[in-house]
Chains A and B, each alone.
Chain A
Amino acid sequence: MAGATLRRNLLEALVIAAATTLVAVSVNALRPSGLPLVAHTPYQTLVPCPEPGGPAVAIGPDDPALASSRSFLIDARTGDEYRARHLARAVSVPFDWLDPIPEGTLEELARAIAASRATRVVVYGDGGRPDSGEHLGREISGRGIKNVCFVRGGAPTVLDGAEGGPP
């Protein structure tokens, strides 16, 4: 009995769907803004790629984390910029806008962070828009490095009084 009712309801649904299709197609044909029933050129759908990387917390240049011995500092600028001037204890990991950090470099970095017994990683970059420090922070965070921060404003805001020359 219930099966028969359901079959009847399904049949009704099919009839109503067919009638609605007829109405929809007719209205579409009559209206000026109607669509061609078959599209001939693909739609330009703009779906942004999922943002690669993980979370990285923004901190200010005066944040105590920068001076803390429990922070592992990373300079995301180019090697030349790093050699010219950098924060004490900062290691150079130049951010490449085109290529991800090589797996070997990332493993070395992870080992160095573990050996330092740091509880957080602080990255500073060129402070530009976009900021290489922020992007490097998100990249390493997305690839398994925990508790990553980046300095808002980057090197220009943190390098007053920083040491120069090779580490």
Chain B
Amino acid sequence: MTWGRTVPWLAVPVRWYLAALFVGASLHKIVEPYAFAVDVATYDILPLWAVNLTAVVLPWLELTAGLMLLAGWRVRTASLLVAGMVAVFLVALLIALGRGLDMSCGCFASQGAEDHPISWLTALRDLTWLALAGFVLAADRGMAGADWLLSKRGRA
């Protein structure tokens, strides 16, 4: 197997990792929309009218992108969505860090500012996720997923 054929397969576990991450991160936000709205408001970036709408829509977008990655359906589109969301999270995080806010990032459930305060490590983590999403976007060919199965069936 050549390197060119190996890389798309290497992207598969990365895709699954991002999928698990996004599905996992979305669930508590969908179940507890008010708590997530407070997290969004804590960043103090969005105007008040946009806080609830963001808190309602964003978790579902995370879930959708996560499930698409997991299923291997429209992988590039899903990785674009993931990359876009991580980029937005990263900008929000950098603004919060720049303001010196002592808060949790609100990314996952049960995180408090005391136990999981945001830091430059959080920004580095987001940068890593952004790089992984870029890798999936560039390298993944939908192997071991719906796109792959559909294209095989089409060729058969």
Which residues of A are interface residues toward B (Cβ below 8 A)?
A: 5, 9-10, 12-13, 16-17, 20-21, 23-25, 27-28, 33-40, 42-43, 45, 47-51
- 3 nearest CB pairs, A to B: A43-B41, A24-B60, A12-B77
**How far does the alpha carbon of A49 sit from the alpha carbon of B60 in the complex, in Å?**
32
CA distance A36 to B49 in the complex (A): 10
Chain B residues with CB under 8 A of A25: 56-57
**CB proximity of A25 to chain B, nearest CB, Å:** 6
Does the CB pair A13–B113 fall under 8 Å? no
The dominant DSSP class at the B interface is helix
Interface pair B42/A47, CB less than 8 Å apart: yes
Contact check, B77 vs A37: say whether CB atoms are below 8 A apart. no
Q: Is B49 within 8 A of A35, CB to CB?
A: no
Q: Mark B43-70, 1 if CB is under 8 A from A, else 0.
A: 0100011011101110111001000100
Chain A residues whose CB sits within 8 angstroms of the CB of B81 once the complex forms: 13, 16-17
Which residue from B53, B55, B56, B61 sits with its C-beta under 8 Å from A17?
B61
Question: Across the interface, which residues of A come within 8 angstroms of B51, CB to CB?
Answer: 39, 43
- Give how many B residues have a beta carbon under 8 Å from the other chain's beta carbons: 31
Instruction: Point out the residues of chain B lying under 8 angstroms from A49, CB to CB.
Output: 102
User: Known: A20-B61, A39-B51. Contact between A13 and B84, CB under 8 A?
Assistant: yes
Contacting residues, chain A, for B48 (C-beta < 8 A): 38-40, 42
- Give CA–CA (A5, B141) in the complex, Å: 13
Binary A-proximity of B87-111 (CB < 8 A = 1, otherwise 0): 0000000000000111100000000
Q: For chain B residues 106-145, which have a beta carbon within 8 Å of chain A? A: 113
Chain B residues near A39 (CB-CB < 8 A): 37, 41, 48-49, 51-52
Residue of A whose beta carbon sits closest to that of B49 = A38
- The answer on a CB contact under 8 Å between A35 and B33 is yes
CB distance from A2 to the nearest CB of B (A): 10
The contact sample of 28 A-B pairs, CB cut-off 8 A, is: A9-B80, A10-B80, A13-B77, A13-B84, A16-B64, A16-B74, A16-B81, A17-B81, A20-B64, A21-B57, A21-B61, A24-B60, A25-B57, A35-B37, A36-B52, A37-B52, A38-B49, A38-B52, A39-B49, A42-B48, A43-B51, A45-B41, A45-B42, A45-B44, A47-B42, A47-B102, A47-B103, A48-B113
The distance from the CB of A12 to the nearest CB of chain B, in whole angstroms, is 4
Partner of A28, one of B33, B44, B74, B77: B33
* New A-B contacts (4) at CB < 8 Å, excluding given A9-B76, A35-B37: A13-B80, A16-B74, A16-B77, A39-B51
